[in-house]
């Protein structure tokens, strides 16, 4: 991909949008993820997207990647069952600490503790019944610390409604898929209640696969004369029989391989819970204090089927934290200052039942505990001028401390005769990291309906505990630095001619001190990567009943240093990073046929495009990409009943959800064939 391509595309798009045509009224969009308070996102000099409740309801995603197709710059690569890997203004990142590049949260509270992420952690959120999913792309504001480097995915809980909203739904689909959802939302005086629960069971397309999953979100809002308090309890449970990669070049097109499961013994059991109370009160006419104490608990056990020796990992952590923010409003500024603190007690144990080789023996590979403390102070300022200009700037200082306790024997896990033991347990130690993030942006209103902005920002992530203490091949200590990412972006958003809303940005990012595993299987810092691209979101009302939407990504992600990366044959500087398609996205055409049906009715056809991408650092192996069509239609059946039909992979394309090359083999997670899902909803209450 040529370096000038995103700029050319952006300039082509801008010419018609700057013609001065404007709609009759300005469209206001609200975002809470930038500063923890609701504000007009249209004026923010920041790249962000949102998937609202209506889009989530129509999509009815079985897996989070279906909903995130609507976010430019984001690709949630689907594994088997509910497993996933994330790309957000990045390649799909893998490895022990790769998940640390993204801040994934529920109501602004990280789904997992900093330093203890999991690549699949989005299944810990009740995205199926969220009020909205907000996404910040690139380094976030100063209100976010470690992990908010490539971006933020924030799942907002559904708020209580002003009047009773009470319903239950049942859904059925292919391969013994069943799901039930229930919600109750209402406000009674000073108290608002929102209850959202769902449970699903999937028999699995592949042999010996499938899962059972349950999620519940309980929310209570209290509006008092002094304090306003929002309390949320969020819990999830997943029991999954996991199907592993199939192997062989283009095996996803082989009818004898597509539904096979090379790892019928694989499983994943995960449980999570979070509770918080967000208490805010006015301190005079211009200041609002918000205090948010929270508890978090995560527990997971799974078979590492992707490794030939197949060990079992058990990891868990419990956290206690508090976020404190003082929002101040002056005549010409909005200012957020605060202090965040969190303490986490975490454990990890890896065992293997049978000997695989002298270098991968049976027994305990790792067994350790880490007590982690994170303390941060931040300040984020935004102008509030009566002028076309909008300025913002922020600074965050964060300190991370790990107290590591090895609970098994120090050193090698193998017998002395092992030639190159895979597992090494470092002795007890302490590690600490001090990091700073900063951002500055300037926006200029071209007219009442469009904003152009320029933003620079730095994000960081401290090393994850597994990178520091889960060592291999005799590495006694991992002397790692925090990763840093510098970002500059130019964007424009607005509305035009009463029909079109648009949001597009071009960016350039450089990441330093990248942590990687070298050819000797040592965890080391010091690599560099380079990232640039264009993200485009369009919504165009073709006619009164017809609307077109487009979310597209054009990107280039490459290695920018000479490193001996594990899995490469030599110098890879300038090569594309593996699993980094240059182009991907989706387009949708929707039709509101309520006037024809006499009921609230909508239909949508969606095209999903995935470009080709390399599977290895040497760029020697490739996946060809794919295109999919999905169809969705929903209609009321009288005042209380609603039916929704979703047909995925309408043309029955043979494709891979994710392709990989490892241990000398092409490996694929196979995409499911065409499937139809029918949902019936009954409303106990009728609006109005």
Is the pLDDT assigned to residue 28 strictly greater than 90?
no
Please indicate, yes or no, if residue 548 is contained in any of the structural domains: yes
Extended beta strands in 567-687, E state: 583-592, 601-610, 613-614, 622-623, 626-636, 641-648, 656-662, 665-670, 675-683
The sign of the torsion formed by the CA atoms of 121, 124, 127, 128 equals positive
Instruction: Report the pLDDT averaged over residues 94-122.
Output: 92
Question: Is-contact 628 655, C-beta < 8 A?
Answer: yes
Residues of the chain above pLDDT 90, percent: 84
Q: Give the per-residue pLDDT at 9.
A: 44
Joined together, the tokens standing for residue 218 give 């309980």
Q: In angstroms, rounded to a whole number, what is the distance separating the alpha carbons of residues 48 and 503?
A: 9
DSSP track, 464-507: PHHHHHSB-TT--------EEEEEEEEEEEEEETTTEEEEEEEE
CB atoms under 10 Å from CB of 486, counted, come to 16
Q: In angstroms, rounded to a whole number, what is the distance separating the alpha carbons of residues 520 and 541?
A: 56
Please indicate, yes or no, if residue 24 is contained in any of the structural domains: no
Work out whether strand 151-156 and strand 102-106 pair parallel, antiparallel, or are unpaired. Answer: parallel
Domain containing residue 184: 5-19+34-683
Question: Is-contact 337 372, C-beta < 8 A?
Answer: no
CB atoms under 10 Å from CB of 598, counted, come to 10
Please indicate, yes or no, if residue 319 is contained in any of the structural domains: yes
Span 229-277, pLDDT tens digits: 999 999 999 999 999 899 999 999 998 899 999 999 999 999 999 999 9
Please indicate, yes or no, if residue 26 is contained in any of the structural domains: no
Is the pLDDT assigned to residue 491 strictly greater than 80?
yes
Q: In angstroms, rounded to a whole number, what is the distance separating the alpha carbons of residues 60 and 63?
A: 9
Identify the burial level of 158 via C-beta atoms within 10 angstroms of its C-beta, where 0-12 means exposed, 13-18 middle and 19 or more buried. buried
Q: Give the per-residue pLDDT at 7.
A: 45
Secondary structure of residue 323 in the 3-state scheme: strand
DSSP category for residue 93 = P
Instruction: Report the pLDDT averaged over residues 149-177.
Output: 97
Please indicate, yes or no, if residue 308 is contained in any of the structural domains: yes
Mean pLDDT score across all residues of the chain: 93
Q: pLDDT band at residue 687, thresholds of 50, 70 and 90? A: low
Joined together, the tokens standing for residue 17 give 């949008």
- Which H/E stretch holds residue 14? helix 5-17
Span 370-422, pLDDT tens digits: 999 999 999 999 998 889 999 999 999 999 999 999 999 999 999 998 888 99
Q: Give the residue among 606, 664, 658 at the shortest CA–CA distance from 69.
A: 606
Which residue carries 């204090």 as its tokens?
A: 289
Span 500-540, pLDDT tens digits: 999 999 999 999 999 998 888 889 999 999 999 999 999 99
**55, 127, 130, 216, 217 from 133: Cα distances, Å:** 10, 8, 7, 17, 15
DSSP track, 492-559: EEEEETTTEEEEEEEEEEEEEEEEEEBTTS-EEEEEEEEEEEEEEEEEEEEETTEEEEEEEEEEEEEE
Span 170-194, pLDDT tens digits: 999 999 999 999 999 999 999 999 9
Q: In angstroms, rounded to a whole number, what is the distance separating the alpha carbons of residues 587 and 43?
A: 25
Span 549-569, pLDDT tens digits: 999 999 999 999 988 887 777
Q: Give the residue among 149, 175, 144 at the shortest CA–CA distance from 80.
A: 175
Backbone angles phi, psi at 21, to 5 degrees: -70, 145
Instruction: Report the pLDDT averaged over residues 458-474.
Output: 94
DSSP category for residue 684 = S
Work out whether strand 483-496 and strand 500-517 pair parallel, antiparallel, or are unpaired. Answer: antiparallel
CATH of the domain at 269: 2.40.170.20
CA angle 618–86–48, rounded 5-degree value: 120
Instruction: Report the pLDDT averaged over residues 127-149.
Output: 96
Q: pLDDT band at residue 11, thresholds of 50, 70 and 90? A: very low
Q: Give the per-residue pLDDT at 252.
A: 94
Span 288-332, pLDDT tens digits: 999 999 999 999 999 998 888 999 999 999 999 999 999 999 989
List the beta bridge partners of residue 125.
Answer: none
DSSP category for residue 589 = E
Count Cα atoms within 13 angstroms, Cβ side, for 596.
8
Span 615-624, pLDDT tens digits: 999 999 999 9
Is the pLDDT assigned to residue 15 strictly greater than 70?
no
Whole-prediction pTM: 0.94
Count Cα atoms within 13 angstroms, Cβ side, for 566.
15
Q: In angstroms, rounded to a whole number, what is the distance separating the alpha carbons of residues 557 and 104?
A: 22
DSSP track, 172-207: EETTTEEEEEEEEEEEETTEEEEEEEEEEEE--SST
| Domain count within the chain | 1
Q: Give the per-residue pLDDT at 628.
A: 98
Please indicate, yes or no, if residue 27 is contained in any of the structural domains: no
CB atoms under 10 Å from CB of 508, counted, come to 16
Please indicate, yes or no, if residue 688 is contained in any of the structural domains: no
Span 582-591, pLDDT tens digits: 999 999 999 9
Q: Give the per-residue pLDDT at 557.
A: 97
Please indicate, yes or no, if residue 29 is contained in any of the structural domains: no
């Amino acid at each position: 991909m040529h370096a000038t391509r995103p700029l050319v595309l952006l300039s082509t798009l801008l010419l018609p949008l700057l013609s001065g045509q404007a709609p009759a009224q300005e469209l206001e969009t609200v975002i809470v993820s930038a500063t923890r308070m609701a504000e007009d996102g249209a004026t923010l000099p920041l790249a962000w997207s949102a998937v609202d409740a209506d889009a989530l309801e129509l999509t009815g995603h079985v897996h989070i990647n279906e909903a995130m197709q609507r976010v430019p710059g984001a690709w949630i690569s689907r594994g088997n069952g509910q497993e996933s890997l994330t790309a957000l203004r990045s390649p799909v990142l893998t490895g022990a600490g790769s998940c640390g590049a993204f801040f994934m949260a529920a109501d602004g509270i990280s789904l997992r503790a900093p330093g203890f992420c999991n690549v699949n952690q989005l299944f810990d959120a009740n995205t199926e019944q969220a009020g909205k999913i907000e996404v910040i792309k690139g380094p976030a504001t100063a209100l976010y610390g470690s992990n908010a480097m490539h971006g933020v995915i924030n799942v907002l809980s559904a708020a209580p409604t002003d009047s009773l909203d009470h319903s239950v739904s049942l859904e059925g689909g292919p391969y013994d898929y069943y799901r039930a959802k229930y919600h109750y939302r209402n406000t009674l005086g000073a108290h608002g209640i929102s209850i959202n629960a769902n449970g699903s069971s999937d028999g699995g397309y592949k042999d010996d696969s499938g899962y059972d999953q349950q999620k519940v979100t309980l929310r209570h809002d209290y509006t008092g004369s002094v304090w306003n308090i929002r309390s949320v309890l969020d819990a999830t449970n997943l029991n999954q029989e996991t199907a592993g990669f199939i192997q062989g070049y283009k095996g996803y097109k082989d009818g004898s391989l597509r539904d096979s499961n090379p790892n019928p013994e694989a499983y994943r059991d995960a449980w999570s819970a979070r509770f918080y109370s967000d208490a805010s009160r006015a301190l005079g006419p211009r200041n609002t204090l918000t205090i948010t104490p929270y508890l978090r608990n995560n527990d997971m056990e799974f078979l590492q089927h992707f490794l030939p020796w197949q060990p079992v990992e058990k990891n868990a952590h419990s956290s206690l934290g508090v976020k404190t923010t003082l929002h101040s409003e002056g005549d010409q500024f909005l200012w957020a200052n605060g202090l965040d603190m969190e303490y986490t007690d975490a454990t990890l144990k890896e065992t293997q039942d049978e000997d695989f080789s002298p270098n991968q023996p049976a027994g305990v590979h790792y067994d350790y505990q880490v007590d982690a403390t994170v303390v941060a102070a931040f300040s984020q300022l935004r102008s509030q001028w009566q002028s076309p200009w909008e300025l913002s700037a922020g600074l965050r200082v964060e300190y991370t401390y790990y107290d590591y306790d090895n609970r098994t024997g120090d050193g090698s896990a193998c017998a002395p005769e092992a030639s190159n033991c895979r597992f090494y347990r470092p002795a007890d130690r302490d590690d600490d990291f001090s990091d700073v993030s900063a951002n500055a942006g300037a926006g200029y209103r071209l007219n009442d309906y469009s904003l152009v902005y320029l933003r620079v920002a730095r994000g960081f992530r401290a090393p994850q505990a597994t990178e520091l203490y889960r060592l291999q091949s005799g590495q006694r200590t991992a002397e790692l630095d925090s990763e840093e990412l510098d970002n500059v972006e130019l964007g424009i958003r607005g509305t035009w001619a009463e029909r079109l809303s648009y949001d597009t940005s071009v960016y350039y990012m450089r990441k330093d001190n990248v942590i990687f595993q070298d050819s000797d299987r040592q965890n080391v810092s010091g690599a560099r990567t380079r990232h640039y691209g264009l993200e485009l979101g369009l919504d165009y009302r073709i006619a009164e009943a017809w609307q077109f939407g487009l979310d597209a990504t054009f990107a280039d992600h490459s290695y920018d240093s000479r490193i001996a990366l594990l899995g490469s044959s030599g110098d890879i500087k300038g090569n594309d990073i593996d699993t980094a398609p240059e182009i991907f996205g989706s387009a949708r055409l929707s039709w509101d046929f309520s006037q024809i049906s006499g009921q609230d009715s909508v239909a949508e056809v969606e095209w999903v495009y995935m470009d080709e991408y390399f599977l290895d650092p040497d760029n020697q192996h490739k996946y060809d990409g794919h295109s999919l069509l999905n169809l969705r239609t929903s209609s009321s059946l009288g005042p209380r009943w609603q039916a929704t039909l979703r047909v995925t992979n309408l043309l029955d394309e043979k494709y891979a959800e994710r392709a990989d090359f490892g241990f000398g083999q092409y490996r694929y997670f196979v995409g499911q064939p065409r499937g139809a899902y029918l949902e019936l909803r009954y409303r106990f209450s009728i609006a109005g």
